[in-house]
Structure 1
Amino acid sequence: MNIFKSHFWYQKGQRNGIFILIILIIIFQFIIVFVDFSPEEKVNIYAPKVMSFGYQIDSLRKINLENRKPKIFPFNPNYITDYKGAQLGMSLVEIDKLLAFRKTGKFINSKKEFQKVTTISDSLLNSISSYFKFPDWVVKRKQNMQLSTSRDTRLFTEKSKYIVTSTDINLAVKEDLKTINGIGEKLSERIIKYRSKLQGFSTPNQLYEVWGLGTEVVVKLLLVFKVVKLPNIQKSNVNTVSFKKLLKNPYIDYELCKKIFNYKDEVAELQDISELKNIIGFPIDLYDRIVLYLVAE
């Protein structure tokens, strides 16, 4: 009984305050339960303003999704890697076909040729070909080929009754080359001299590197002469070659030669010739031609 009494030991004013507090709590409970606080005017979700706001949200979501997608920048399709090909949507078989083609030392110079080599579908070609970026000389060659006419084609061999001794560009003599319209004594000598410097043409595209030989003339030349047999190039061991001998590589200048030797000093020995790509400032677009003359042993 004393336990219950202890709860009423408050003064009269305190007991009245507690009583009023209890009444207020009960009143608030009734208000919360029985009074409707929802607005009288209901929001119409199909109202023009509401729908416009919804459209804005949807458009912002789409922009956000587009920004999250990996961006594709212009690239040379000759240097597509396994990872890059997978990103573009190519299958492993299609990528392997491209890599096998590149190992032959040949280059792809058009989107049609890319599809022929890889056998990708028309839809995939259309979606990625807009990002293809070929070297400037390839673009110029295409423009010149489009401007050529059937009359130009007849001029390739109209120079004389001379019978060409060989259509292999690596075996052709000066007189053979001079049958092409636009090639005289000096240019034919220059082609043969450059061929000797290269130890033979490994790819027809190397003819575009001959100084003074215009794109239009090269196009005419390649309609008659081909690389029938690959040259037997004497390769140098990059790990033991001297600075002077490495500098004789037609695609290596003094600065690049220094970089290669500095890199060799860092790694002691190249295990694979592809390590050249690790050199800062190495011309990747010339890699396939540089390694025609080098090996890592």
Structure 2
Amino acid sequence: MNFKALLRHFKFTSQERTGIFLLFIIIIVLQAVYFLADFSVPEKSFPEKQEWISLQTEIDSLKSIRYNEKPKVYTFNPNFISDYKGYKLGMSIEEIDRLLAFRKENKYVNSVEEFQQVTKVSDSLLNVISPLFKFPDWTQNKSTFKTEKKEYVRKSYLKKEKAEVLDINVATQEDLIKVYGIGEALSLRILKQKEILGCFVSMEQMKDIWGLSPEVVMELNSHFKVVIPSNLKKIAVNDASLKELSQFPYFRYALAKQIVTTRSMNGNFNNIEDLSKIKDFPVDKAKIISLYLEF
């Protein structure tokens, strides 16, 4: 190996040696700055951020309380169990039908035992749902009720005989509020619905008013009846425009458009049966709707 040729690469002039020395100095200074200087960016303080954090903590605590809360359980009178309510409770279709058939005879179950006799539900299901039952107070005080039964029946009978059945189309808010279960809000809702329809043509329409329970509807039926006014302006279904039909509460715009289209293609409708053949027509309300129409 030729060492002399190799050593030539390590011979520097005075200027080169000075340059190399300065390079080392610069490297050492940069290393010192790198290890000793603090290059971290100071974090800015935002007062709003602290408020958000505190609020988030409060929200998290409220959420945990809410998730740990047990749902409220409401009691109910088992005499008024509907198909859907019975399904949610775990009753079979046959058990629900037995109860509905019993109620159609205008009879009421007044105890847990009587409920099981009528519906024939199993003991296990009865143990689960019976704590939710709430019967009228008088069923819990039968001994007191029996001693006054004759007088109570006689008085209630006399009251029913004297009770005046009013036409719901002329009833005022004061008349409606007299019915048990109806307050200011529900009475106004009934009057508003009557205003939208022009008048009621059937007491069945009470079931369509939001907020009226089956018990309250029964009370309304015992205090009111429907007398269709002679000046009821009916809709001439064969001449009415699309706008007139779509403004009728029982028709949506899409249905009104189909009625107009079918009428233009097939000619006039002769009766409600012809009209009910149209797709999406509310067949379950056909009888009520027919009383508002003119063919």
TM range (shorter): 0.3 to 0.5
Greater Rg by CA: 2
TM normalised by structure 1 equals: 0.43
TM normalised by structure 2 equals: 0.44
